[in-house]
A = this chain, B = another copy of it.
Amino acid sequence: MRDQDDFLTIGRFARLCRLSVKQLRHYDDSGLLPPARVDPATGYRYYAPAQARDALTVALLRELDVPLAVIAATLAAGEPERARLLRAERDRVAERISRDRARLELLERLADGGGLPGYEIILGREPRRRLAVVRAVAGPGELAERTGACVGRLLAGLDGTPWRPPLWGLFPLDLGEGMRIAVGAETAGAAGAGEVAAVAGLEWEVLPGGPVVETVHHGPYAQLPLAYNALMAAVHERGLRPLAPVREAYLVGPGEAPAEEWTTRLVVRVEETAEVGA
């Protein structure tokens, strides 16, 4: 092996490692990949051929969008730790893909609709409703999943009990971590209702009646934010105060039609004012 003393200048090393000179200098400054020798007089950086392996690895991981800090840890870490770090990165990318897919679905609708599609906003009144519900907590991005799980639990709990469609979903006004959501249905008639709640682990939730603003969304649930956008804009433009929880009525849902035909009624109750209902 002759690789001990014929060092490479930064430019040459950069070319053969598919990195830029700027990058190599940056990796030196940050301690990620210091050159084998630095001329104390001129400051020139000289790299050993044996450093090509690490440099190529850095280039590869950067192409995979792995943060420099993680690359540094990966190079320094031993075997079990290294695999753990890479798995974490893999999970990060996988999650970004799934979020991007949701974004894509929304952008599809926005682009096809030639901008923000028009939603017809209806001001009305809702009666008081008493729902048998199951509850869950969801983070952002888990809403669809958790809501679906709630529907399953609710239908299991309601088994044999008559209930009036549609199913209702209840959500907070603000999206964020630890959202408390619920899915429920109005049971048909008073007989045995209390029993249902006791036996199946269902709870009761009373939705007060009053003035509401509502709209109807046709399409997959990933596009619901567009409808909420229009709905909340209409609420605030009128100076109204929305009241949690927001209610979704699933008029046509999964299993009944293709996603393009799903129909969801979005209802938000607002504070009683003189103008509402006029």
Contacts and interface: CB of A to CB of B under 8 A. Distances in A.
A106 B101 CA distance: 20
Interface string A203-232: 000000000000000000000011001001
Given A57-B116, A115-B79, A236-B16, A63 B3 contact: no
B100 A2 contact: no
Nearest to A97: B100
Contact of A18 (B3, B110, B115, B174): B174
A103 interface: yes
A87 interface: yes
A60 interface: yes
Interface in A42-95: 49-50, 52-53, 56-57, 60, 63-65, 74, 79-80, 82-83, 86-87, 89-90, 93-94
Contacts of A239: 1-3, 6, 49
* Copies of this chain assembled into the complex: 2
Given A60-B226, A111-B90, A103 B65 contact: yes
A19 to B, nearest CB: 11
A64 B87 CA distance: 26
Contacts of A2: 239, 275
Contact of A100 (B80, B93, B107, B174): B93
Interface in A111-166: 111, 113-116
Given A1-B239, A96-B100, A83 B114 contact: yes
Interface of A: 1-3, 6, 15-16, 18, 49-50, 52-53, 56-57, 60, 63-65, 74, 79-80, 82-83, 86-87, 89-90, 93-94, 96-97, 100-101, 103-104, 106-108, 110-111, 113-116, 174-175, 225-226, 229, 232-233, 236-239, 275
